[in-house]
Amino acid sequence: MRRAKLLLIGLAMLLILPTSGCGFKDIDKRFFVVAMGIDQGSTPSNYRVTLRLAIPTSQMESGETKTELESMEAPSIAEAVRHLKSLVDKELDFGHCRVILFGKSLIEEGVENPINWLSRRRDIQQVAFLGLAEPNAFQVLKLQPQSERYPGNALFLSFGSEGTESSYILTEYLFDWVRRQTETGKDGFLPIIRKDIDRNSYRVDRVAFTDKKKLRLCLTPAETQLFNISARRYDKSVIAIPFKGARIVLALSQVETHVSISHEDIPTVTLHLHASGFLEESPPNFLNGDIPKIENQLQTEFNGELQDLLYKIRNSEVDPYGFGLHYLAKYFGGSKEWKKWKEAYPEITFRVDSRIVIDKAGLVQ
């Protein structure tokens, strides 16, 4: 009996021993990385890594967030992060890093190595938001808007559905970006975050398109909204056109799209779109006129603008809509069909077939 007791005690001690070297650190011994920026270094072979760190505190007031910004340049991102650890007195925790920004100059050269590092790190969330920082990630992350309740809060609310919802803002996640970088027939896009000096805040109202290697095209705010409607089916948007010396604004409540592609030597891509909404702004007694005529004018204006955008994107040799992937899926394409599509893409024609319906004139009839 005594021998059995000794064996049980010995077994319990063996189970406890492995936990003695546990690497867990208390919350007051950690710096939480809430945002990360990666820029081109002073030489093409270097990277400049910027980390925005949140300092844990018991009380948080708007505009009084406790944060720290650390930046380091090195030949690789991994080396820069390791070197940054020597500048702080606490362990860096990437588990709360929800925003990753790439500097514009880095995107112009390509982000294959940064994406490779981000994908390998087990503590980087695959649902982290990605963006293109202009002029660079360091300048953008250095901003501390007065509205922030805690570090990074302004960017989180801009890209997440918890805060503002704008048709000028597109949200891109790390997992989707990685998929687009390797997916045949679909290219990537990134929202552009700019520094608004006058307001001491961020301006996010443009989008950038990339191919598998580097930056290809940046859209204007109006084109960004159009892309958001047609590619992302964003239904909290507006369509505005001039009408009889005034301007009418249709607030969308529902958007549906589908694509059809012909199987000719030079394919024709037809984008079908059905949208409905209510008039948010219009002249007095506007609906006393011919509603079908007004809807036709909305459709004509929208079709022309979207068709111009599609040709502009095609001429930049990118395909963020994923028309190539749709073509391969529809016609069971392999390498032969993909080669045919790549050769034909610079010459393909676009057709926009929209149906826009005015449901009502808001609360005022």
pLDDT digits (tens, 9 = 90+) for 64-111: 567 889 999 999 999 999 999 999 888 898 988 999 999 999 999 889
Q: What is the mean pLDDT of residues 348-358?
A: 95
What CATH number is associated with residue 245?
3.30.300.210
Do 42 and 177 reside in the same domain of the chain?
A: yes
Looking at the fold, whether 235 and 315 belong to one and the same domain comes out as yes
Which tens digit of pLDDT belongs to each residue from 280-332? 887 776 666 678 888 898 999 999 999 999 999 999 999 999 999 999 999 88
355 located within any domain:
yes
Query: Strand runs (DSSP E) across the chain, as ranges?
Result: 30-40, 47-54, 67-74, 91-93, 99-103, 129-134, 188-196, 201-210, 215-218, 238-243, 246-261, 268-281, 349-360
- 199 lies in some domain: yes
Do 79 and 58 share a structural domain? Answer: yes
Residue 19 lies inside a defined structural domain of this protein: no
- Do residues 175 and 248 share a domain? no
- Answer yes or no: is 1 within a domain: no
188 and 235 share a domain? no
Got the DSSP string for 56-94?
A: P-S---TT---EEEEEEEESSHHHHHHHHGGG-SSEEEG
CA distance 305 to 225: 11
Residues 228, 291, single domain; the answer is yes
Of 198, 218, 238, the last residue of a domain is: 218
Q: Do both 126 and 71 map to the same domain?
A: yes
Q: Which of 33-42, 233-242, 246-255 has the highest mean pLDDT?
A: 33-42
Q: Are residues 144 and 47 in the same domain?
A: yes
- Same domain assignment for residues 150 and 48: yes
Q: Residue 18: inside a domain, yes or no? A: no
DSSP 273-305: EEEEEEEEE--TTGGGS-HHHHHHHHHHHHHHH
Domain match, 279 and 200 both:
no
Alpha-carbon gap, residue 76 to 302, rounded angstroms: 46
Question: Which residue among 182, 201, 218 closes a domain?
Answer: 218
* Residues 197 and 231 placed together within one structural domain of the fold: no
Is the pLDDT confidence value at 168 over 90?
A: yes
What mean pLDDT value characterizes the chain? 87
Structural domain boundaries enclosing 198: 27-218
Q: β-strands 91-93, 47-54: how paired?
A: unpaired
User: Please, which pLDDT band fits residue 211 given cuts at 50, 70 and 90?
Assistant: very high
Residues 200 and 288 in one domain: no
Whether pTM > 0.75 for this model: the answer is yes
Domain end position, chosen among 179, 198, 218: 218
The number of domains in the chain is 2
At residue 197, the pLDDT reads: 73
Is residue 270 situated within a structural domain?
yes
Conformation bin of residue 110: beta by default, left when phi > 0, alpha when psi is -120 to 50: left
